[in-house]
């Protein structure tokens, strides 16, 4: 992009090693190389100059303070963008944005035709947010599929499919925008679908026009303008980097009085839980109940005469299930009004009196009155042992094809025993979800929905399951 310095991968490794070694010149060099790109990315996500500047400031401080989290210097570029993205999404999720946003000025070096720029902007709005972000990172920021996978929390193959589908959809959307603006006189159908030239069209209308173009000889010839997707994005300007931001970042990075601030910024930049990050709620990490309440509870039980407290075997599993989608801390309440420390204490168990494995000092034991031995009950036939537990089964999945609609059903089947299944992700422009437990031979159906707005000639995606299998999904339009 104009105004963005070119950075090779070897320079990435040198910058990462320099920062890890604590060299004073490392962060200034990283800022000079990456700040224009990262500020524009922050501005794309936040749409406000001040918010983008604050997000970039905190992201770079996090990179300096947590450089030890980087497993390999060759991954520095993707990690740098991933940290920046998490900081922007954190601000969006916490609604930490100004009520009235003020966009940044355009960076110098952009000319071009304003009319073409408006057409490209309209075509981009036809795509969904994930498609626009993938194109921006791949084409304007020149990130490869492995770096995109790190940033977007997907597999490299899924990142490649997402970019390819987005490029195709942008080409079709741009063609539809051009035909809607210039082809009304040549084709009555376009004039009917587009309506008055003064009325703005929505994504659905452009989708209808795109589907019409594929089957209309007049519009196909009129809209057959091969323009590379990367060239279209070059028409869009980047946000100008605030001049005062560099001094602000570097002062925070080295000033002794900013040590607490640096520590706070690094602490709140925890990596997200597994899954694609974004505005949706993320799965929280399981928190451990506090030690002090547990110690106090144990002391009370000992004073009451209980010698042995044995935790229930299923409690940790229950805590893990409650942790999904919930905010937990040592002092938060557990289901039913009990605190986590209360729920972790089981009912007292009786102690045996044989003394085989316990202490010989029984001074703390509760004295029990002697009893007359009860009569021996009549013998009963022995209870048969429980059947051995079934061996866990395996899962097989199969994909589906969308013919005349935007939905189809993938299947997941258990073989050889019971099995738990769960949708763990999707690729390209499909969405799906669900989970459950299947008995041997049982099949579940997962509804897959296509999210492509502009669909010409078909496409494909996949649904991922916890077994590691992927169900392919295809469609024709």
DSSP bridge partners of 464 = 425, 470
Could you tell me if 173 and 210 are in contact, meaning their C-beta atoms sit under 8 angstroms apart? yes
Determine whether 34 is exposed, middle or buried from the number of CB atoms within 10 Å of its CB (0-12, 13-18, 19+).
buried
The three-point CA angle 90-95-97 to 5° equals 95
pLDDT for residue 186: 81
In angstroms, what is the C-alpha Rg of the chain? 31
- Dihedral angle sign, alpha carbons of residues 269, 432, 436, 343: positive
Biggest CA–CA distance in the chain, Å, is 107
Could you tell me if 25 and 250 are in contact, meaning their C-beta atoms sit under 8 angstroms apart? no
Distances (CA, A) of 216 to 3, 169, 182, 204, 457: 42, 18, 15, 18, 14
pLDDT for residue 321: 33
pLDDT tens-digit profile of 64-73?
Answer: 999 999 989 9
pLDDT for residue 457: 60
pLDDT for residue 53: 95
Q: Work out the angle between the directed axes of helices 156-182 and 114-126 (0-180°, nearest 10).
A: 130
Query: In terms of Cα–Cα distance, which of 315, 21, 280, 340 is closest to 153?
Result: 280
CA 320 to the chain's CA centroid: 20
Determine whether 178 is exposed, middle or buried from the number of CB atoms within 10 Å of its CB (0-12, 13-18, 19+).
buried
State pTM to two decimals.
0.57
Residues of the chain falling short of pLDDT 50: 272-382
């Amino acid at each position: 992009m104009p105004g963005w310095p070119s950075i090779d991968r070897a320079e990435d490794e040198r910058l990462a090693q320099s920062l890890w070694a604590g060299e004073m010149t490392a962060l200034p060099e990283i800022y000079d190389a990456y700040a224009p790109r990262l500020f524009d990315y922050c501005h794309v996500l936040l749409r406000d100059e001040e918010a983008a500047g604050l997000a970039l400031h905190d992201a770079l401080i996090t990179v300096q303070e947590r450089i030890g989290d980087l497993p390999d210097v060759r991954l520095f570029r993707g990690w740098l963008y991933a940290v920046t993205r998490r900081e922007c999404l954190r601000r969006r999720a916490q609604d930490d944005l100004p009520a009235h946003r003020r966009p940044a000025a355009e960076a110098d070096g952009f000319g071009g035709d304003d009319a073409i720029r408006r057409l490209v902007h309209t075509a981009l709005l036809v795509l969904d947010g994930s498609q626009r972000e993938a194109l921006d990172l791949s084409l304007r920021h020149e990130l490869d599929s492995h770096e995109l996978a790190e940033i977007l929390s997907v597999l490299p193959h899924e990142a490649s499919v997402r970019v390819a589908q987005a490029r195709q959809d942008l080409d079709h959307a741009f063609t539809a925008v051009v035909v809607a603006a210039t082809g009304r006189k040549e084709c009555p159908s376009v004039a009917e679908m587009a309506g008055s030239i003064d009325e703005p069209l929505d994504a659905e209308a452009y989708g209808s026009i795109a589907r019409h173009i594929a089957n209309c000889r007049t519009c196909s010839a009129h809209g057959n303008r091969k323009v590379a997707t990367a060239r279209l994005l070059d028409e869009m300007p980047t946000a100008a980097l605030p001049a005062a931001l560099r001094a602000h970042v570097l002062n925070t990075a080295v000033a002794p009085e900013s040590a607490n601030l640096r520590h706070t910024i690094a602490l709140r930049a925890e990596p997200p839980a597994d899954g694609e990050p974004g505005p949706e709620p993320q799965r929280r990490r399981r928190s451990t109940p506090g030690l002090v309440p547990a110690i106090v509870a144990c002391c009370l039980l000992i004073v009451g005469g209980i010698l042995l407290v044995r935790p229930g075997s299923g409690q940790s599993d229950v805590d893990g299930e409650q942790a999904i989608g919930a905010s937990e801390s040592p002092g938060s309440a557990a289901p039913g009004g009990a605190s986590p420390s209360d729920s972790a204490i089981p009912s007292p168990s009786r102690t045996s009196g044989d003394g085989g494995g316990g202490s010989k000092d029984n001074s703390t034991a509760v004295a029990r009155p002697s009893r007359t031995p009860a009569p021996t009950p009549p013998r009963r036939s022995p209870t048969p042992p429980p059947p051995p537990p079934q061996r866990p089964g395996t899962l097989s999945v199969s994909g589906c094809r969308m013919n005349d609609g935007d939905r189809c059903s993938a299947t997941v089947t258990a073989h050889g025993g019971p099995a738990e299944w769960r949708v763990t992700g999707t690729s390209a422009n499909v969405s799906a979800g669900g989970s459950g437990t299947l008995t041997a031979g049982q099949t579940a159906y997962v509804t897959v929905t296509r999210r492509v707005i502009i669909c010409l000639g078909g496409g494909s995606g996949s649904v991922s399951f916890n077994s590691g299998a992927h169900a392919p999904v295809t469609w024709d339009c």
